Amino acid sequence: MALRTALYASHRAAGARFFEFAGWEMPLQYAGIVEEHLAVRRAVGLFDVSHMGKIFIEGPTAHAFLDRLSANDLPAISGRARYTQLLRDDGTILDDVIVTCLAPDRFFLVCNAGPRTAVVEWLKAHAARDVALADRTTEFLCLAVQGPRAPELLQRFTSVDLSHVKPFHGVSIDFVPPAPWGAHPRAVPPEIEGWGRPGSPGPAIAPPGEPTVSGGRAAFLATRTGYTGEPGFELFPAAREGAWVWDALLKSGEDLGARPIGLGARDTLRLEKGYLLSGQDFDGRQTPLEVNSAWLVKWERPFIGREALVAQRERDDYLRLVGVRMEDRGIPRPGFRVVSRGSDVGHVTSGTMSPSLRVGIALASVGKGHATEGTSLEVDIRGTTHPARVVSPPFL
């Protein structure tokens, strides 16, 4: 039986259409993918992405341990977050993750739902004795508030000045629903149950069973990373308080156009920005070089997979992941052949009709000789080739 998040009943009440994704029964759409997509681009949408893995790592050598497994270097300053990829010894990507430093010896790793078990096993296989790991995926939700009016909506609930939270930073926020709905932010004492430890320099996630809701208020981690290209935050309330947080955000945000958004629109939003989808744009066989992620690799430091990656870079014989924009009304889909002068040169990994641009867009894996921006290609759509051109993401 597929797993369900703590918001399943809320989604069903809102008329969600569900589908199974990575072992979870998740909302695909409510009113419709295009309508929801445009709502996020123009106003604000609320996503339940609680299927994402939520793993806590703690110990005196936790930073060194994680940094060795990461292609990107990881921060050791409380409140900093970083996007990275975990690599195997042969340089292939196990998963792409976001790591937030809660304190110099405590870290919070968010991974994708599909490879979560493999990620946990990989971490455990490489952890030193003084590093503790805890997979607490089902104990916490992840709610993404995204869109140009997202900061305005969340600010109604917290005394923390969100304008000071930079991209790829995290902060402990108090969460108090405004009354009446739509009122201006109110200052709330920051001493909320569930955050911090005596003598510790940074925020800590409350242990299981410790209350985080008290007197109609809560406290939890909020990060500013995003997967839509729009302003926004990811909220990590405890599962038991999730429905209350979800409903409060939607009710308070009615005047801003807030609405629930399914994973269908999340996919089209991320593709317009050229963001990768685990299991689709990379499936465990590709390296960062093959999925246009060389920018995140910090070559000057040791990490697992570095030697294989350096050798591949020197050979320069790998496939490239490029953006493809259709030049007619054709809609590219994952798995479609990419053709040049009658010969196969690659395949589409992600593709759709862009709701914002009203043109077909795709990410495609092609050979080096066909990866230059401006190169003319064709996409085979059900037996008929359609003209396309290589472009540099993002598309929007």
* pLDDT per residue as tens digits for the range 321-358: 999 999 999 999 999 999 999 999 999 999 999 999 99
The reported pLDDT for the residue numbered 215 is 47
Q: 347 Cβ partners below 8 Å, 6+ apart?
A: 335, 336, 337, 338, 364, 365
What span, in angstroms and rounded, lies between the C-alpha atoms of 178 and 199? 32
On the question of pLDDT at 204 being above 80, the answer is no
- Split at pLDDT 50, 70, 90, the class of 179 is low
Distance from C-alpha of 164 to C-alpha of 158, rounded to nearest angstrom: 13
Of 153, 393, 103, nearest to 274 (Cα)? Answer: 393
Comparing 210 with 180, the larger pLDDT belongs to 180
Kindly give, in sequence order, each residue whose CB lies less than 8 Å from that of residue 148, ignoring residues fewer than 6 positions away: 41, 42, 43, 44, 230, 231
Confidence of residue 158 (pLDDT cuts 50, 70, 90): very high
Among 115, 169, 157, 139, smallest CA distance to 54 is for 139
What structural domains and CATH numbers belong to the chain? 8-50+140-270 (3.30.1360.120), 274-391 (2.40.30.110)
Expressed in angstroms, the distance from the first to the final Cα of the chain is: 38
Residue 95 token pair: 């998963």
- 197 pLDDT higher than 70: no
- Asked whether the predicted pLDDT for residue 203 surpasses 90, the reply is no
Task: Tell me the mean pLDDT in the region 302-324.
Answer: 98
Structure tokens belonging to residue 15: 């008329």
Residue range 224-250: mean pLDDT, rounded: 96
